[in-house]
Amino acid sequence: MTAAVDVLIPTYRRPAALAVTLTSLCAQTLRDFRVVISDQTEGTEPTQSGEVQAALRVLRVHGHAVEVHKHLPRRGMAEHRQFLLDQATAPYVLFLDDDLILEPDVVERMYAAIREERCGFVGSAVIGLSFLDDVRPHEQAIEFWDGPVQPETVRPGTPAWERHRLHNAANLFHLQQRLRLSPRQQRKYRVAWVGACVLYDTAKLRAAGGFSFWPDLPADHCGEDVLAQLRVMERFGGCGLIPSGVYHQELPTTIADRRVDAPKVLR
């Protein structure tokens, strides 16, 4: 039977971080999801590590189907994401980075929001809790959706592009505390993009091209998720959720060369 959500996780050289991410999926209140992992680590098998296998066993015991793929050679994150999208059979896909911690209600809240809005995507931006004492009021501007989420055109260099600052450090956490928001009182807000934890309507993501632009990029690039979201948002709309409930493990990036930024080189 097809799940309601396919959780798609690209991973590379992060067995411990991946295990933590998978463990937080084990406790999700939304039960109807499948997990698809694609590993691009050369020479070793991090998905075979004890900690990852333990988390996968728990997911399977809870009734979740799990697929693990080895996908080489590495052709860049856009190609890797497109490969994962090609595996999807569910009506919704959650692209999840391999270094996150999710509160138990996150996937259910995202699923409810995207079904309510019928938009292209809903994102829960990641929070860096090491920045709890770094309060930045100048980066906490927020534009709520008070009506239905609508298509928007956002481009680098425009005023709407500056919305990304809200997702820096622990800004979202500070703001949700100041506004006294709770999961039962979640709000949808306008975004430039959302990184690391984004739930898409699968058909809408595919209709906007998905990540099929990957051949137009060198293997070393960043911003592929941003470009895909901009294209989905322009046709179908997208939003962020506050409170987020998603925390970053704050590990060093595995994408060291960030000179080619997809939304700035591919319009």
Q: What is the pLDDT of residues 87-142, one digit of tens each?
A: 999 999 999 999 999 999 999 999 999 999 999 999 999 999 999 999 999 999 99
Q: Give CA–CA dist 164/175, Å, rounded.
A: 14
| Dihedral, 231, 89, 42, 263 alpha carbons, nearest 10 | 0
Q: Which percentage of the chain shows pLDDT scores above 70?
A: 100
Please determine, for residue 24, whether its predicted confidence score (pLDDT) is greater than 80.
yes
* Predicted structure pTM score: 0.97
Contact 181, 243 (CB under 8 A): yes
Q: Name the H helices within the chain.
A: 15-26, 50-61, 77-87, 106-117, 171-178, 202-207, 224-236, 262-265
Confidence at residue 144, expressed as pLDDT on a 0 to 100 scale: 98
Decide the pairing of beta strands 197-201 and 121-123: antiparallel
Domain ranges of the chain: 5-265
CATH number belonging to the domain at 5-265, selected among 3.90.550.10, 3.30.1060.10, 3.30.43.10, 3.40.50.1220: 3.90.550.10
From residue 135, give the alpha-carbon distance in Å to each of 50, 93, 138, 168.
39, 33, 9, 11
CA-closest candidate to residue 164, choices 140, 147, 180: 140
Confidence at residue 59, expressed as pLDDT on a 0 to 100 scale: 98
Confidence at residue 223, expressed as pLDDT on a 0 to 100 scale: 96
